[in-house]
Structure 1
Amino acid sequence: MCGALVAAMFEFTLWQPIANACTRILWNNNKLTVVVGRTMDWPESTEPILTVFPRGMNRNGGLLGPSVVVKENPARWTSKYASLVTTIYGVGTADGFNEKGVGAHMLFLTATDFGARDRNLPGVQAGLWAQYVLDNAASVEEALELLKAIQPILVEYKGHKSTVHLSIEDANGDSAIIEYINGKMLVHHGRQHRIMTNDPPFDKQLALLKQWDFTNATRATPLPGNVSPTDRFVRATFFQKMLPEPKNDREAIAGILAVARNVSVPFGAPNYAPGTLYNTEYRTAIDLINRRYFFELTTSPNVVWVDLKTFDLNPGASVMVLDPDNIDLSGNVTAKFQKAARAPF
């Protein structure tokens, strides 16, 4: 069985183009809380900025920074809910959650194909796909309905194309993975969908996972140990299953970060082509019940955390930002946020 699995995984890696990576881990099957973590694995800095958006933000889904990238029928909306996010290159949201306890995470997927432009649907440049959810949805169910009415648009920034898929979850533990394959939106909806990495598409990841048996696991149970998306998918699934019941919120966050660290990409790890490298840039964890956000930059010695509930989230309040690339930051950094000179989007 394991030999067949290795062969299948090797065959898959042969045709993969060079891509970047990430892992999302949801812990919604404990008796205490709902927490989610992710790694951001990238070959360079994504220039992450922790950003608090109040309600009432006016958005234009056709803008990539100052550039108009959706000229016909761009989506326009005013945010119903406040959010705390990590931005990517200042033009989109890679990760975050909103005041209703909805989390959203964009991860790389080489197979993404948003299809030909359907001008009957408002277009959202893909860097704002997650932000659209956080601005408008109070649950996964609501988000899935809203996403039917827009079309994500592929864009390119700093040499990277936005071939991404989206995972969302809420404080009730509901979960969904949304992918566009061959121009069609595919939704995997259910509490059981706790892990997401990258290629292959999610249905194929689930098929590969069925070839692993974690029954009566011990320290001798074999697991794939490299940094490919398929290896990380299996390891994240295994260790998420093994997490002990948390006694408090602190243990819940520690548990999810432990799994995220296990599936992180070490510095110098090889990418698909010889000589190409990438590593984990940062890790996040979100307490969706208590509305707290934890952030760990891999070049910093400390974990920082933010309490969304302490900010002024009313319409007209300032957008608040914090650059996490500061080794002096540690612990609760809520008071360290500063007013943004202007909203990034």
Structure 2
Amino acid sequence: MKKHLLCAGICALSLIISAVSASACTLSYWAPEKQHALTGRNMDWFSEMGTKLWIFPRGLERNGQTAQNPMHWTSKYGSLSISIWDCLITEGVNEKGLVANNLYLPETSFEKRNSSQPGMGMSIWLQYYLDNFATVDEAVAATTGKDFQVQSSKLTLFGKTAAIPLHIALTDAHGDCAIIELLDGKTIIHRETKQAALTNTVYATQKILAKQYQGLGGKHMLPGSSESEDRYARTAFYLTKLPQNASSQHAVAGLMSVMRNAATPIGANDPKRPNIAMTLWSTVTDSTTQTMYFSSSLSPNTLRIDLNACTLDKGASILNLDPMHTADTLAGDVQNAFAPHKDIPFVQAGQQITWTAPKTK
């Protein structure tokens, strides 16, 4: 009887999650002993997001992008970052191998602003970690210490304007991973080592749901849909199948194959269900070598950016590359294809993001 109740509860919870999900992204972390530490990510969305690659040198003056009492810092480390909507950092790696990613999480809720505490806008939150910390431990210490208060910007989606709800995954070269979620006005941090997966469901719930599947503790066959909990189950399962003691090249290729297994094909958008969205691009980032592999779904080419080959000295130029519209002409190492650019105009917390996807030619 208890088993039937548990199954019924899991199914009901799964339906609730499917109903509230509003976007789709997938992340994986794989850091077996004596191999490179790798983070994979799929960016899923229903339209073009104006994706740009950035190389940021050390010594940049930053602020937390809140109207009152913003956090202030000078970037300690250089980084390679990815922006969307021309105003928000969604992924990156710094010169010490700390990797940061944010993914959509509809259950996110933000504290009421307390202006006596330094503020951190959602648009620059990820870059704050890349600018300042070498390891997951350091980043978590600053987060649990309540050094700042996170506030969101707004985005209009399908005629409705709401705060941008995100959770963050931090990974590093030492086999450490942290998932940071803002739930019911509290900061919740989960710690993992060596291996982790993340999609668009509350992390603790994902782990419970996955236990019903073969290879993850249950008896059901692996699910095949693009729903958040299904992508999580497939990613978590196939991470266990990657070969140990693989060469760096084979390890990167192996994790990219896991990400492709969780990807949603071009043209599979469901206008009535925005949680089903095509994969725009995929990355695998090597924390050990500070190298990112970027693959646009619009091109068979893969771009490679070695952060160690970039000039990160204080005073060096900020560099920029559009990877979605150069993927047909570029492949392999692309550090030399970046061009000087002014800094990204981070959107301030509370303000509206105005982004219109260009029409497809």
Using structure 2 for the length normalisation, give the TM-score: 0.86
Residues 120, 30 of structure 1: alpha-carbon distance in 2 compared, 3 angstrom cutoff = same
2:119 and 2:98 mapped to 1: Cα distance? Answer: 22
1:146 and 1:190 mapped to 2: Cα distance? Answer: 18
Shift of 1:207: 1.4
Residues 210, 274 of structure 1: alpha-carbon distance in 2 compared, 3 angstrom cutoff = closer
Residue 194 of structure 1 aligns to a residue whose secondary structure is: strand
Shift of 1:192: 5.5
Residues 211, 103 of structure 1: alpha-carbon distance in 2 compared, 3 angstrom cutoff = same
Query: Per-residue CA shift, 1:174-217, capped at 9, x if unaligned?
Result: 11000010000000013156111012x11111111222341799
Residue 267 of structure 1 aligns to a residue whose secondary structure is: coil
Shift of 1:90: 1.7
Contact 1:175 1:194 in 2 (8 A): yes
Residues 337, 275 of structure 1: alpha-carbon distance in 2 compared, 3 angstrom cutoff = closer
Contact 1:319 1:343 in 2 (8 A): no
Residues 246, 344 of structure 1: alpha-carbon distance in 2 compared, 3 angstrom cutoff = farther
Structure 1 gaps of 5+ residues are 63-69
1:338 and 1:9 mapped to 2: Cα distance? Answer: 50
Aligned ranges for residues 181-196 of structure 1 at < 5 Å? 181-191=183-193, 194-196=196-198
Shift of 1:272: 8.5
Quick one: which amino acid aligns to residue 79 of structure 2? S
Using structure 1 for the length normalisation, give the TM-score: 0.90
Contact 2:173 2:288 in 1 (8 A): yes
Contact 1:322 1:338 in 2 (8 A): yes
Residue 39 of structure 2 aligns to a residue whose secondary structure is: strand
Contact 1:243 1:255 in 2 (8 A): yes
Percent sequence identity over matched residues?
33
Aligned ranges for residues 1-345 of structure 1 at < 5 Å? 5=7, 8-9=10-11, 11-14=13-16, 16-62=19-65, 70-147=66-143, 148-157=146-155, 159=157, 161-191=163-193, 194-199=196-201, 201-214=202-215, 222-271=221-270, 273=272, 278-325=277-324, 326=326, 327-345=328-346
1:299 and 1:2 mapped to 2: Cα distance? Answer: 45
Residue 141 of structure 1 aligns to a residue whose secondary structure is: helix
2:53 and 2:128 mapped to 1: Cα distance? Answer: 17
2:359 is aligned to none
Shift of 1:151: 1.4
Residue 128 of structure 1 aligns to a residue whose secondary structure is: helix
Residue 20 of structure 2 aligns to a residue whose secondary structure is: coil
Contact 1:97 1:104 in 2 (8 A): yes
Structure 2 gaps of 5+ residues are 347-361
2:292 and 2:38 mapped to 1: Cα distance? Answer: 10
Equivalenced residue count is: 335
Residues 154, 341 of structure 1: alpha-carbon distance in 2 compared, 3 angstrom cutoff = closer
Quick one: which amino acid aligns to residue 156 of structure 1? K
1:221 and 1:207 mapped to 2: Cα distance? Answer: 14
1:23 and 1:215 mapped to 2: Cα distance? Answer: 18
Contact 2:227 2:276 in 1 (8 A): no
Quick one: which amino acid aligns to residue 47 of structure 1? G
Quick one: which amino acid aligns to residue 205 of structure 1? Q
1:114 and 1:52 mapped to 2: Cα distance? Answer: 30
Contact 2:24 2:275 in 1 (8 A): no
Residues 18, 144 of structure 1: alpha-carbon distance in 2 compared, 3 angstrom cutoff = closer
